[in-house]
Amino acid sequence: GNSVTQMEGPVTLSEEAFLTINCTYTATGYPSLFWYVQYPGEGLQLLLKATKADDKGSNKGFEATYRKETTSFHLEKGSVQVSDSAVYFCALVTGSARQLTFGSGTQLTVLP
């Protein structure tokens, strides 16, 4: 079956620090990969996605590269802001399954 393993949290950083949140996956079939963000009291918002190997998804300064050889999709941002404080979820979907499989989430807190 499909599974996603995310870096354990919580993560606390100072503003302008570099962020990496690790994500690895196992999948039956060829997955599409996603990062979703959840702000307090809200639903999930798609942050970025990649649908094939070596694709780089990017949005709002966040980036992640689909690495098939290491089955990874690590999230990075060069300079975090207080407004980036949220829970980040790595997820995948495969053509045969159609449902999203999520990791357990990583709580990020950015201090001014």
Partner 1 sequence: DAGVTQSPTHLIKTRGQQVTLRCSPKSGHDTVSWYQQALGQGPQFIFQYYEEEERQRGNFPDRFSGHQFPNYSSELNVNALLLGDSALYLCASSFTGGAGTEAFFGQGTRLTVV
Q: Please report, as residue ranges, which positions from 13 to 32 form the binding site for partner 1 (by CB under 8 A).
A: 31-32
Q: Please report, as residue ranges, which positions from 38 to 97 form the binding site for partner 1 (by CB under 8 A).
A: 42-46, 49, 51, 89, 91, 93-95, 97
Distance CA 75, CA 35 (A): 8
84 contacts: CB under 8 Å, gap ≥ 6: 19, 77, 108, 110
Choice between 50 and 110, CB closer to partner 1: 50
Choice between 95 and 112, CB closer to partner 1: 95
For residue 29, the minimal CB distance to partner 1 (Å) is: 8
Q: Give the DSSP letter of residue 106.
A: E
Name the region of 34 (left: φ>0; alpha: ψ -120 to 50; beta: rest).
beta
Q: Give the footprint of partner 1 on this chain (CB under 8 A).
A: 4, 31-32, 36, 42-46, 49, 51, 89, 91, 93-95, 97-105
